[in-house]
Each structure stands twice: as structure tokens, then as C-alpha cells.
Structure 1
Amino acid sequence: MQKPQVPSARGLLYRLYQRRLKRGLTTEHLPRHVAMIIDGNRRWARQLGFQTAAHGHRAGAAKMREFLEWCDDLGISVVTLYLLSSDNLTQRPSDELADLIEIIADLAEELSHYRNWRVQQVGSKAGLPLPLVAALDAADARTSGHSGLHVNLAVGYGGRTEITDAMRSIVATHHAHGGTLEDLAETLTPELIGQHLYTGGQPDPDLVIRTSGEQRLSDFMLWQSAHSEFYFVEALGPDLRQIDFLRALRDFSRRQRRFGG
């Protein structure tokens, strides 16, 4: 007869601490929009002796599904995941990039069938392989009517390119309506630029988290994060724990946001 498993003391303490952190959070002090820079997948794979980075990217993708569940269960409205930058398209080795693109396509497909989440690409499709574009477009179309957690997949994304594209869109729209340069100068405002970003119509991120201990933005949401709070986690992407996330939320809830003041 098999003996029932007894939870370890460490595991029990972990769960108790996790519940304590959750109890200390209140809805009014939670961020509406969390942006996540998932970093450290390649280092994670190397440290575990894997021959390719693909193992780390797969583990990171699985962790992001889990991370989205944490956010959804807490009532957070929008999450943006930085999965593939425009720089990655030219700087990553071709074999690693091919694996990463396949993993992202699979993740988009998976998320579009999960709960009532709205899945949307934010980024440029220029330079993306057609199968990845098809997977992102299919996820968008499949979830367009969903009202649950809004999941932005930042793929082919670059903050400077986003601002450039927004300006081009504004100029093109203005020109199509017969406007003059003088009129454009009068109407150009931060609010107008925000409407033409990839995330137009969404709230800016209240909290930006980056894993792996690195403390830089890497061309991510440069415009939207002007007044965001930042939190850096030492854990590599696949090793992120719910406790790490809850600590980030606790830290966020204790900060006095100044919005540039």
C-alpha cells in the first residue's frame, strides 16, 4: 500500500508565505497593465547543460503561460510580453531564431484557445516569416471578441520603430484628409501620438518587470513606459516563481507614483 506523500516543510512554508503575500494585496493598488521582459532563457539552458537555446525558450514560453494565469487570477486587465524584438531578427543566429519563431507561433496558438483571453500582436510584421504572421493573425482573429485578459505579444517589436510608425501614420492620415503642415503642427500632441502606437487605445503599463537581473529596457515600450514603475527580478525567465511576482506587486503597491512630478 502506497504511503500518502507528506508535503515538505519548505514547500509548506512557501505556500504559507505566498498566501500571506496575496492577502496583503488589494485590488485598488494593483496595476492595470503589466509589461514583462522575459530574459535569461539562453542562460538557463546553458546552466542546465542543454546544447541549444531552444530548451530555454520553450521553458520561458511555458512560464509565460503560467505568468498570464497569475495575472488573470488577480484581475489584472492587460499584460504585454516582450517575446521577439526587431533587433533579434537580425542579431540572433539563424538556427536559434528559427526555433524561437516556431515556439512563439505555438504559444500564440495555445493562448488563443485558453480561457477568454484576447490575444494581439504588438509590433511590425516586416521581416517576420509568413508562418509566424499567419499564427499571430489567426490568434488575433480567433479572440477578437473575447473580453478577458488582454494579452499583447510584442513580436517584431522595437520602441523606436513604433514611434516612427506612429508618426508616419499620423502624417499619412492628415495628408489623406487634405491637411496642411501648419495644421499638423497645431494638432500634434502626445495624446495623438499615443493613439497611433501599436497599443493605441490601451492603458500604458503601470509596472514593467524584467527577469534575469538585467536592468535595461532594450527598446521596449519607450513611449508607454514614461511614467511606469520598474521592477527587476534576479531569477532567470524560466525560474520565475509566483512569489517573485507577488513581491513585485507588493513593492508596486507601496510606491508613491508621481507621473513625472
Structure 2
Amino acid sequence: MISTIPQLGLGTWKLHGEQLISSLRSAFSLGYRHLDTAWIYHNEKEIGSLLSQSSIPRSELRITTKVRFDGLLTHQKAPFKLSDFSYSQLETRFHQTLQDLKTEYLDLVLLHRPSTPDNDAQAFETLLRLKKTGKIRQVGVSNFSFPQLELLYFRFGSEIFTNQIEWHVCLSSPELETFAKEKKLILTAYSPLAQGHLLSYAPFLALAEECQLPPAQLALAYLLTKGSIVIPKASSQERLQENFEAQKLVLAPKIIARLDQLPKHHRYCNPSFAPLNELL
């Protein structure tokens, strides 16, 4: 548990319909209490429907969602316009999210992606205003590079609870990690299995075999040891349980050191509009 957010959560990107419902039910039965979603995932209404029928008290759950700039950009859309990255719809979308998730408040709300410094600051101020009303417990960001996070931090300081980033055994940002540690910010790791690529990466698999651990457990335990919040996605009961039990592992320092030595430049979530260097 980090502050009030469980260190291991369940990611729900691309989960819909029966697969989503089955995954959530299995996760709850295993003890998961932290869910991660986003406006752009288009599954908040389905999640809300299940939560409204769950016997788990809302006070025991921690729900993270992410709000997004106005433009619905794809990896292919170009050229970009500054107006695409305004947050004029943020508050409207936030209240729709509350309605869809059938909850009176959210535990953690993030800006899903950076846009421009002025837009990000204005959007963050909106989140802080909503936080003061009690509709949000914590606020943060997602996919912010070190310069972007540093700039926002100098304006808002410790109001930034976390930066959710792609982070796994084969991808890290030493600058971000050092900055977060110095400022007592939490990093949240999405795609902690590198979108499945780790499960076919021979050097990592060899180390997992040496440790006599399932590869996914080793990958998650590594990030948990770093003090991050980790939100793997899983749909099968077996994989959900395997991931959940990663919390029990204590890795030897020599194993952590060897994992640290693996290449750290393999990024798998890199849309062309992030970061928006051509607009900054």
C-alpha cells in the first residue's frame, strides 16, 4: 500500500464485455482493490455497472482514471493543431466519468498525456479545483517526460501524486526515477510486461528460470521492489493470481542488480503525438 493506493492494481486497457466482467470478478475474489481505467478506454460504464452490483464497499476500492485533451488523436492523425490539445471538455468528461462509474468520487485522476505547458497547467488547476470539492482524492499525470514533469512540479509541487509511465525491466528513465525519489513522487508502471514482449525475451527468461519464478512474477516483483505502483492487465484467473502473488516476493539484491543491467531502451507505447516536441 502506497499512501492509500494499493501498490498492485489491475489495468483495464482493451478489456470490454464479458472479458472485462470476468476479469474484474476474478480480481476481486483474489483480493485486488485497485482498478485503473481511462475515459479513452470506453469501458467506464461497464466497470460502473459491475461495481454497482458488487458486495465490496466503495470505501475499500481505489479507482484511478485518466482524463484527456479534446482531440481524439490516433497514431496516424497529422498534422496536429494546438486546438486539439486544449482541455475545454475536461470537466464535462469528468462528471460523465463519475456517472458512468456510478461513484460520487474518484481516488486518483490523471492527465492522460502531456500537451503544452499552458494547457497542462490549466487542466491540472481544474483537477485541483475538483479535488477541493471532494470529488477527487488525489491528482497526477501520465506519460510525462522528465522535462515535462519537472516543469509542472515547479508550479504545483507535491500536489502531483504520481506520474504513470510505461516502465518495465527493459525500459527505464533514470532522470524520472531520481526526480521522483527526490520529490517523493510516486511512479506508476503501466505495460509492466512490455505488452507481452518480456515473455519472449531470452535473457530475461533465462534469469526467471534461474530464479525458478514465472517470468511475469519476476517482472512485477522487480518494479514493486522499486517502490512503484504497478498495474498489469490480465484476464485469466491463473494470470491474475500469478500477478497478485508477485507482492509476496523478495528479490535478492544480486537478482535486482542483474535485472538493472538489462537494456533499458525498449519502448512499446510511443504514439507520434507524445511528447509534442513539435508544438512546445
**So what's the TM-score if we normalise by structure 1?**
0.40
Q: Which has the larger radius of gyration?
A: 1
**Bigger relative contact order (CA 8 A; separation at least 6):** 1
**So what's the TM-score if we normalise by structure 2?**
0.38
